[in-house]
Structure 1
Amino acid sequence: MTKKILKYSSVLLLLASVAISSCKKLDEINHDPTKPTTADPQYLLTGAQKSTMDVLYSGLQNGYIAMHYAQFWSGNSRTNDSQYQLDEGNNATLWNNLYRISLHNLDDLVKQNNAKINEPGKANQNAIAKITSAWIYQILADTYGNIPYSQAFQSTTNITPKYDDAQTIYNSLLDTLQAQINVLDTAQTSFNAGDIIYNGNVLKWKKLAHSLMLRMAIRMSDANPTKAKQIIEAHYKDAISSNLENAQLLYLNAAPNKFPLNDTEREIADFFVSTTLVDYMKSVNDPRLGIYARPSHDDDTIKGMPYGLAASDKGRLSQTHYSYPGKQIYSATMPGILMGYPEVEFILAEAAARGMNVGDAATHYTNGIKASINYWRLLTSNTNITDAGIQTYIAGVPYVAADWRNVIGTQKWLALYPQGFQAWFERTRLKFNKPGGAPLFITPVSGSLDASVKMVPFRLTYLQSEQTQNTASYNAAAAAIGGDTKGTMLWYNKF
């Protein structure tokens, strides 16, 4: 993994009467951030990238929502979240930060550059901004279903945008990504500063665009197998092909640029790793377990908490009995992962298993496991993980063509830790069990607190403010998807 030193700090920019968080290199602050002027494109990009990563990896959104729904963690200080009682404040922050900060920044960036699009680097800058927007819009569509899209930034006066059909949004985003791949020119400059994902590397942005198309295509593979096949076969050779090309934000061990969920200043007692994660990893002798979780305070043993165990449950043991997430997961310098090589390989393994012409499923499956373990081995400088040990592990979790959904599903799930949102989306899409078919996931031990959900939510409900401030659009969207409940399936949940 290539290491680069990024120096940036938070500033506040006023854009169209909306407070926009942004970040920049410390030695490049050369304007007054308190004046309500339009921000430079590089600062808009930094703000969009960091604000998105911050909310996706916050304890409030990733921890209380996504990591629970992926069943990686179970609640300690607040157990209702594990039982699917959604905190509306956390839900609103996710929606508002992605729309009002991240997407707003990117929309403004593109509009600024459009007036001088023929200047060197501007076309590449816009392409990078649009790829970033496509990533964010897909997260929103996978989280909520139908969302504001075509009218989201149509004008400054439209405060009641319609909700577009999520499948239509997917098709539009795929078109957008393809268009940006065509625009990106490696012979031209892009961002000389401000890009805290790829540092302006045009080739890597092009690879990410191909990879995001793979992510979208595999997600729709049960709903539209023909289109999924066409996209994956056309783009897989140009996608991310090593951990050196992973798209991620490297956080720093200095406020305000630490990884959002870090325990460098205080112990985080909100979450325990689940028995679902721990027991399965123990059963296959997974070498990543000591990275994903830490021993309990009682002894040197990693012990999960049964998922969805209420604070009042008589079976709940002392807090010191259970294990917190691993030290690296709570490190100030834990990277915020946008998309990595392991995910690409598991996408291709599934594509091959479905009969797509992308190579051998077993080879891609093995590559995915190796890439994930090697990522964590390098990130943590773990000398206990050896090449021989990785081979032994792979031999113990072999690829089985007749059971590909469960085999690939479990390993992809493990590789996506701690990307709670992506792991949750894949859990609901693939509906996988342990290899062989035994259940992996459980219903909340103390029961669900949402009548529409028993096993796992398929989506988040729309913001309560949308019901009162955008009533007509909200009602139309709720009707179109089959009801605004967490139990309503998304358009691609066909299996």
Structure 2
Amino acid sequence: MKLFKQKIFTYSLTAALLVMGVGCKKYLDINTDPTKATKVEPKLLFGYAITAYSETRCSGDGWLPLAFMSQAIATGGSFGWGQINDYDISTYSLGNVWKGYYNTSGNNLQLAIKTALSSTPVNNNAIAQCKIVLAELVYEATTLYGDVPYSEAWNANFPYPHYDKQKDVLENVIKLLDEAVAQFDESQPNLIIKDYDLFYNGDIAKWKKLATSLKFRTLMLMVDADPSKAAAIGTLLAKPEAMIASAAEAWKFPYGKDAARNNPKYRLINELNGGENNMFLANKAVIDYMLPKNDPRIPQYFEPGADGQYRGVGTDQEADENDSYISSYLQRADAPDLLCSYQEILFLQAEAYARGLGVTKDLAKAQTLYKQALTTAMTFYEADPADIQTYMSSQLADLTTIADPVAEIHLQQWIDLMDRPLEGFTQWRRSGPDGQEVPALTVPPQAPSGGLIRRWGFAPDEISANINIPKPAPLYSDKMWFDL
């Protein structure tokens, strides 16, 4: 379906259903409307779900408030965006992101699964694809909101779904991923979503690797609160080839240079400021760790100030013309939405060996994976190859000799996730106990009392509509189950 790929952002589910049409004999059915489809193919629901999902992640509802509040980027005060990093999250963001997880993307994936189950033969491959994306939606929802509906969600028998505990939600994420891997049927390659699969074009092997990678990431999130998960981590580490094992296997949503396919971050700048980025600035919490080592990603992440130098802005700090903006490279029209990267998995593997999670602690092995992860991260952002080589030969930290190798890995995880603020926010919270997270962040001066932000509040519409919403509602500074 080339039309979908060409018009990815103007795609209308309603229009797609009408285009499908019906057989001529239906015109003879007195009580049947010949202009309406009686059945929707799973691929249409899947395509709509993943497009809406990525749109929200990269939009002013998702990317923008998360980037500011997590201190991945800086507002620059009145010189840049203004005071939006003080935890006053828009009700539109709270609601639209929630609706994306449950109403828009989540519900369409559930409908796709139901339709694939009722087909003859059952389309197990499409079901598996939908379960993997659904698992990611649920994972993101719980890391952002805490306890969320799952066991009673998307079920008409439960108009007021109860909120499952975060540990149970994450256990179900793992269950969904395991089910998906087992459900793929390579004997029926034609029964898979392919033309609407903008991730892997129906490649079952890559989908399986993705599911295993997401399981590994989920276990790494859970292990501090539930040390028993170390055994499962060790099992996965024994077969790293079963996870994403190259940059080509990374999970990403593609965007393009034609207007209909532009990355929403690019469109945000175009629509709000005529294409000029003078709103999003480098945060000292990121760039100050990169400058001393002349990190090759600096010119990829940031634009130099008026004086030709790179300089970051502190939280709630007024910027000037010599401070650095976020680069046009990161916010280019065809920048992909990176959902799970090869370097992300390598960093987590390095961390597991450095901590001895399910394996014997091995700093030499961790060092090899850490170097590979950092090289992959720099290469992904198209840093200069010669500069990468110089960094590796003169600036690469030696995990076998430094005082805190795990903190060093966490720091590079944070830097790598700068342009992925939801993942960066989750990584920061899991990087250490209260007061020992990497990096050390400070509360914005104009934020309400209560400490650093740990979660989003529930969507206003959900609060008013669901009688089973947790009471009292958690505060923005309340820790989640995984956040020790």
Same topology, TM > 0.5: yes
TM-fit CA distance, 1:35? 4.6
Relative to structure 1, the CA distance from residue 396 to residue 167 in structure 2 (aligned partners, 3 Å threshold; closer, same or farther) is closer
Normalising by structure 2, what TM-score?
0.86
1:96-135 equivalences under 5 Å are 96-116=99-119, 118-119=121-122, 122-135=123-136
Relative to structure 1, the CA distance from residue 124 to residue 403 in structure 2 (aligned partners, 3 Å threshold; closer, same or farther) is same
Q: Which deviates more, 129-138 or 52-61?
A: 52-61
TM-fit CA distance, 1:23? 8.9
The size of the alignment, in residue pairs, is 453
Q: Which whole-Å CA distance do the structure 2 matches of 1:439 and 1:387 have between them?
A: 23
Q: Which whole-Å CA distance do the structure 1 matches of 2:425 and 2:388 have between them?
A: 30
Q: Match of 2:277, SS?
A: coil
Relative to structure 1, the CA distance from residue 39 to residue 302 in structure 2 (aligned partners, 3 Å threshold; closer, same or farther) is farther
Please tell me whether the aligned partners of residues 49 and 197 of structure 1 are also in contact (alpha carbons under 8 angstroms): no
Normalising by structure 1, what TM-score?
0.84
Q: After superposition, what is the alpha-carbon deviation per residue over 1:117-168, rounded to whole angstroms, capped at 9, x for unaligned?
A: 635xx1011001001000110000000111111111111x643211111110
Please tell me whether the aligned partners of residues 277 and 328 of structure 2 are also in contact (alpha carbons under 8 angstroms): no
TM-fit CA distance, 1:37? 5.3
Residue in structure 2 matched with residue 206 of structure 1 by the alignment = 208
Please tell me whether the aligned partners of residues 293 and 391 of structure 2 are also in contact (alpha carbons under 8 angstroms): no
Computing the radius of gyration from Cα coordinates, the structure with the larger value is 2
1:54-453 equivalences under 5 Å are 54-64=55-65, 66-76=66-76, 77-116=80-119, 118-119=121-122, 122-155=123-156, 158-189=158-189, 190-234=192-236, 236-237=239-240, 238-262=242-266, 263=269, 266-296=275-305, 298-309=306-317, 316-318=318-320, 320-355=321-356, 356-357=358-359, 360-377=365-382, 382-383=383-384, 385-386=386-387, 388-392=389-393, 394-396=395-397, 398=399, 400=401, 402-431=403-432, 440-444=439-443, 447-452=445-450
Q: Which amino acid aligns with 1:277?
A: V
Relative to structure 1, the CA distance from residue 400 to residue 84 in structure 2 (aligned partners, 3 Å threshold; closer, same or farther) is farther
Q: Match of 2:11, SS?
A: strand
Q: Which amino acid aligns with 1:39?
A: V
1:7-46 equivalences under 5 Å are 7-9=6-8, 10-14=10-14, 35=36, 38-46=39-47
**Residue segments in structure 2 that go unaligned for 5+ positions in a row:** 23-34
Residue in structure 2 matched with residue 19 of structure 1 by the alignment = none
Please tell me whether the aligned partners of residues 52 and 102 of structure 1 are also in contact (alpha carbons under 8 angstroms): yes
Q: Match of 1:159, SS?
A: coil
Q: Which amino acid aligns with 1:200?
A: G
Please tell me whether the aligned partners of residues 433 and 483 of structure 2 are also in contact (alpha carbons under 8 angstroms): no
**Residue segments in structure 1 that go unaligned for 5+ positions in a row:** 15-21, 310-315
Relative to structure 1, the CA distance from residue 345 to residue 394 in structure 2 (aligned partners, 3 Å threshold; closer, same or farther) is farther
Q: After superposition, what is the alpha-carbon deviation per residue over 1:425-465, rounded to whole angstroms, capped at 9, x for unaligned?
A: 0101113899xx898433245x142223x2x3111111122
Relative to structure 1, the CA distance from residue 317 to residue 49 in structure 2 (aligned partners, 3 Å threshold; closer, same or farther) is closer
Q: After superposition, what is the alpha-carbon deviation per residue over 1:364-412, rounded to whole angstroms, capped at 9, x for unaligned?
A: 11111111011112xxxx5464552242355356565641331110011
Please tell me whether the aligned partners of residues 23 and 50 of structure 1 are also in contact (alpha carbons under 8 angstroms): no
Please tell me whether the aligned partners of residues 221 and 229 of structure 1 are also in contact (alpha carbons under 8 angstroms): no
Q: Which whole-Å CA distance do the structure 2 matches of 1:218 and 1:132 have between them?
A: 19
